[in-house]
Amino acid sequence: MTPPPRRPSTPEALALLETRRSVAAAGLHAPGPDADQTRRLLAIAARVPDHAMLVPWRFIVISGAARGEIGARLSQAYRENNTHMPEEKREKFAAIMGRLFPAPLAVVVVSRPVESSAIPAFEQELSAGAVCMNLLTGAAAMGFDGIWVTGWAATHKAALAILGVGEGERVAGILHIGTAKEAPADRPRPDVAALTTHWSPPEA
């Protein structure tokens, strides 16, 4: 029997993985993925390891006019839920909520572990994290920039209700995707050698 052909090395993919970095949401402008690219991106995002094929995640896509609409609702919810804060500070953060979706596309990755499953919730949440990372890498492969964020809008009950995140669900990430006008500097990267050990048998 002839063995299957060896998967070829793809230097372009390696270069992308070795250079990809995030761009702050405020720096993400048009163009973003169009409808076909978005569909393709979500299919790439869904191609992740998933123990027992539980599909413990889903997507909420935010684009176009919905960005401003959700921003306005989040801004109001922030005000209503932070009445204890000094007004100036509250208004500052409420305004930030209003501008939360500056990029042409945002994808909320919702983690929804299947409780009845024998697969630990932790493993299911890791799968949702892999979805987020695939979105970032897939967007980069399409020539877009992006960032993975969370924060108040991804965790507060009132914000989750606005986004449409239900009981038993959590936001794994809000992925903002668009085009950076300027190439931001990379951040310092971890010293991988210092983080790596090679197993040897424990001394008796």
Q: Which residues are annotated as a binding site?
A: 20-22, 47, 51, 148-150
**Rounded CA gap, 154 and 134, in Å?**
19
Q: How far is the CB of 187 from ligand FMN (least distance, A)?
A: 6
Q: How far is the CB of 122 from ligand FMN (least distance, A)?
A: 14
Is the Cβ of residue 14 or residue 52 nearer to ligand FMN in the bound state? 14
Strand partners, 60: 108
Is the Cβ of residue 39 or residue 160 nearer to ligand FMN in the bound state? 160
Q: How far is the CB of 161 from ligand FMN (least distance, A)?
A: 19
Positions at the binding site for FMN? 20-22, 47, 51, 148-150
Is the Cβ of residue 26 or residue 55 nearer to ligand FMN in the bound state? 26
- Chain centroid to Cα 78, Å, comes to 22
Is the Cβ of residue 41 or residue 147 nearer to ligand FMN in the bound state? 147
Q: How far is the CB of 199 from ligand FMN (least distance, A)?
A: 27
Kindly list the residues in this chain that would bind ligand FMN in the complex (CB under 6 A): 21-22, 147-151, 173, 187
